[in-house]
Amino acid sequence: MKNNLLIVIPAYNEEKTIGSVIKGIRNVAQTSDIIVINDGSSDRTESAAKDAGAFVVNLPFNLGYGAALQTGFKYAIRHGYKYAIQMDGDGQHSPSSLMSLIKEVEKNNTDVVIGSRFLGGNSYNAPALRKIGMKIFSIITNFITGQKFTDPTSGYRAMNDSILRFYSNDIYPVDYPDADVIIMLHQAGFRIMEIPVDMNPSLTGKSMHSGLKPIYYLFKMMLSIFVTLLREPISFTTSPHRGEGKGEG
């Protein structure tokens, strides 16, 4: 029987953690398909992922986190998957929450579900500066969407195929897709939900936010949110809740 669910893991130089992440997923979801998008890594990420039994797509050069993720979404659409989960390859996202994430989407309670590191009494210790940034974006996102998001920057999400089609479009940001994507989804009329997920405190790998990047991140996210609001409510929505306009995105 063909699998409905594809687990997408973008990886950039994650040879140390990617293998254990895949094995961890296999422990809770034995038969699920796992695709690792190797985003031009210079280390042995590819063979580590292959050895652990994942399907690996190698990008010819480094495209960035969002573009790598989008590659996985495009693959999912091409191969007719109904659901997808995105998670990081650094081992921060615990596979134990996989099932609870996908359950919500499978039950059709929502189009996309975001795994929050703060909901349900979870304590996630981020550096102070990053905590402030997260708080700011959570306030902005809540204000615009009128919905409460505790962790809009989380990269641990599950979604159905109408979201996958939406994400395969050129509007999907190539770098740091998080709070702005939530607002985009909200504008397009999709249903978004947040549930608590577990974190692996022992396996906190390197962050993609280092050096001058936080400043760029802050600027990019502000601008991205701002122009998203300026745009017409996106017309190419493929959400089933707006009639049967399932056009090619």
Burial of 170 per CB tally in 10 Å (0-12, 13-18, 19+): exposed
Question: Smallest distance from the beta carbon of 219 to other proteins, in angstroms?
Answer: 16
Question: Smallest distance from the beta carbon of 74 to other proteins, in angstroms?
Answer: 6
Q: What is the DSSP letter of 240?
A: T
Strand partners, 192: 112
Q: What is the DSSP letter of 90?
A: T
Question: Smallest distance from the beta carbon of 185 to other proteins, in angstroms?
Answer: 21
Locate tokens 């601008």: which residue?
Answer: 223
Question: Smallest distance from the beta carbon of 37 to other proteins, in angstroms?
Answer: 7
User: Which residue number, 71 or 228, has a Cβ lying nearer to other proteins?
Assistant: 71
Task: Identify whether the C-beta of residue 174 lies closer than 8 Å to the C-beta of residue 67.
Answer: yes
List the one residue out of 14, 70, 61 whose CA is nearest residue 207: 14
Question: Smallest distance from the beta carbon of 75 to other proteins, in angstroms?
Answer: 5
Report which secondary-structure segment, H or E, holds 147.
Answer: none
User: Which residue number, 21 or 67, has a Cβ lying nearer to other proteins?
Assistant: 67
List the one residue out of 53, 43, 57 whose CA is nearest residue 20: 53
Question: Smallest distance from the beta carbon of 212 to other proteins, in angstroms?
Answer: 20
Question: Smallest distance from the beta carbon of 234 to other proteins, in angstroms?
Answer: 17
Which CA distances in Å does 178 have to 55, 96, 128, 197? 25, 22, 19, 17
Binding site residues, other proteins, CB under 8 A? 37, 55-61, 63, 67, 70-71, 74-75, 78, 170, 174
List the one residue out of 163, 144, 141, 152 whose CA is nearest residue 116: 152
User: Which residue number, 74 or 130, has a Cβ lying nearer to other proteins?
Assistant: 74
User: Which residue number, 170 or 248, has a Cβ lying nearer to other proteins?
Assistant: 170
User: Which residue number, 35 or 140, has a Cβ lying nearer to other proteins?
Assistant: 35
User: Which residue number, 59 or 222, has a Cβ lying nearer to other proteins?
Assistant: 59
The whole-angstrom separation of Cα 155 and Cα 88 is 7
Residues contacting 246, CB < 8 A, separation 6+: 162, 165, 238, 240
The whole-angstrom separation of Cα 155 and Cα 134 is 13
User: Which residue number, 132 or 219, has a Cβ lying nearer to other proteins?
Assistant: 219
